[in-house]
Structure 1
């Protein structure tokens, strides 16, 4: 199957050079769900690019009857972040010009709608497919209003222009998947939204973190939050309705690395998820082997540990370690400039949990991130 390849203009630089996105659209013979998959929204988080490349190679081997619906793939979705450098390091988490996190800039319709109850009442007795189309139309109409400001003489900051460009590609998707990694050294896991535990297992990762606390400005959040609000409103009015819409963020290993194990798990998980959802009709999927046991946790139970003093980190627990309250997590080797000998400070866990993220740099200033613990 040969994709439709579209090149989307993003930005012209002061030098006259231009930045673009490239979208690979695989479209099956039968209509069905639209799947939108992107990678590298944060500049250092590159493993998803390898995942998308392997998916493209896989999809090229299929015929059009083996894909129901369409899959849109957008690798290297943020060239500004990907190309950012500080010496040999790739930070790229923030737009340095505007000091904004690249994944906290997206437009959330739920924050702007003021007639949700009235809309829901008008849809109470309609089929959910009709409701979905009517609500999507409202979202798209409002989106056009805000995104058209890019063309005003006063225009908009680049982060707004960029966010609208990505959202214009994904607004009408059924399943949205954003491929990330830790900016530091992290496990392979996913973020999910309420009532998605069964679908989460299709990705065959060992850890799922429920987003039970969020602001709605991240890419996956901005996509799904209006639909969650609509579902809640229907329930309050006495009707249970479930839209077949899902949003995911997959965290695949470490930043600045294309870890083969993380890439392989990402590819396998995506294939299995798409097969379970009926998008792919291929031999070998869904996988019949037993899925790994999946641990579920909540995002509000994450605890980040920051250095209480400047120094060098030593004797740190390994990534993925389980710890109990009172266990030593790491030591800070501190070189005092106070006519004193160097000292070593033990830092112990405040609660039980396991280590899901650790800093790459083991030299820290006071107040800098050392590790993340998940209860």
Structure 2
């Protein structure tokens, strides 16, 4: 099976050069669901590109009959962020022009002054499929007005043009997967929205951050896609018509920034194959994996992550590594603290406030007061 490969002009630079997105579209013989998978929205988070590369190679070994529906793959989905540099380091987390986080800019249908409650009431006697199709049309119709603003004589900021290009590829999808890496030194984990916990197990990762109702604002890529659907589900349930649509979005955090950890890449590839097979999109041997039946994932509600920030400035030493189980009152790191008070340097011990597991550590061991140091999550399901 060969993909349809096409490029999308993204931005013209002052030099006259253009930046582009490149899309790899695989289409099966049978109509079905649509999956959209992108990588590298934050410039330093590159491991997802390797995952997509391997997935492209794998899909090319299949027959068109083994894919039900279509899969769109967009590696290096933020070329401007990827190309940004400071000395040997790449961040690409923020737009250097306006300071916006590249993953806090996305369009959310729910913020377009729409009455989702009224829509739900108008659909109460229809089937789930009819409601889904009608709602999707409403979302796309509203989104189309964004292009009118972009094409107006006054124009719009680049971040709005950029988000339009990405979201135009995925708003009609059923499954959206955004491949990231942690900004820090981190374990592999995912973000999961409430009600989708069982489906999260398909990715075969050990840890998940659970987004409870009201804990998302629609600004991130995964939230902008799924938040309107979650709102509709809530409104329908209040009307006595509980429905959970087979529509999902995920952010996978695969390893650490600026690196392509081979183990994280392998986990990402295996998880994507398993997820797509479990959703009935891929008809391939060995998948879904038997391990799914017994796989357990530790979910920590987003609000219950315990983050630690440096109480003073200095240098981090003897810090516990990601994946370490810690107990309350255990020393988890030290700060070598210098001063300007004519005193000797001090070593300050920092102790865990709760039991848990270290999820990630800051990359830089030099911290100013108030800088992030590490996160601790639950250690057991």
TM-score past 0.5 threshold: yes
Supply the distance in 2 between the matched residues of 1:196 and 1:271 (Cα, whole angstroms).
Answer: 18
The one of 292, 313, 316 aligned to 2:316: 313
- 1:1-375 alignment, distance < 5 Å: 1-212=1-212, 213-289=215-291, 291-375=294-378
State the distance in 2 between where 1:148 and 1:187 align.
42
Q: CA deviation at 1:370?
A: 1.0
Give the deviation of 1:103 after TM superposition. 0.5
Task: State how far apart, in whole Å, the 1-side matches of 2:237 and 2:199 are.
Answer: 22
Task: List runs of 5+ in structure 1 lacking aligned partners.
Answer: none
- 1: distance between equivalents of 2:138 and 2:296? 40
Per mean C-alpha deviation after superposition, the further-off stretch among 267-276 and 295-304 is: 295-304
Separation (CA, whole Å) in 1 of partners of 2:374 and 2:217: 23
- Runs of at least 5 residues in structure 2 that lack an aligned partner in the other structure: none
Instruction: Name the CA distance, whole Å, in 2 between partners of 1:239 and 1:150.
Output: 38
- TM-fit CA distance, 1:227: 0.5
Q: What SS does structure 1 have at the residue aligned with 2:182?
A: coil
Give, in whole Å, the separation in 1 of the partners of 2:150 and 2:39: 24
Displacement of 1:292 in angstroms is: 4.0
Q: TM-score, normalised by structure 1?
A: 0.98
Report how far residue 230 of structure 1 moved.
0.6
Deviation per residue, 1:293-328 (Å, 9 max, x gap): 321111111122111111110010111112222211
Quote the RMSD (CA, aligned, Å).
Answer: 1.1
Give the 3-state SS of the residue equivalent to 2:259 in structure 1: coil
Query: Aligned partners of 1:23 and 1:344: how far apart in 2?
Result: 52
Q: Distance in 2 between matches of 1:129 and 1:58?
A: 32
User: What is the TM-score when the length of structure 2 is the normalising length?
Assistant: 0.96
**Per-residue displacement from partner, 1:139-180 (whole Å, max 9, x unpaired)?**
111111123211111111111110111000000000000000
Which region of structure 1 is more displaced relative to structure 2, 140-149 or 113-122? 113-122
Using the TM superposition, give the Cα deviation of residue 9 of structure 1 relative to its aligned residue in structure 2, in angstroms. 0.6
Aligned residues: 375
Cα distance in 1 for residues equivalent to 2:79 and 2:106? 17
Shift in alpha-carbon separation, 1:292–1:124, aligned structure 2, 3 A: closer
- The more displaced of 265-274 and 364-373 is 364-373
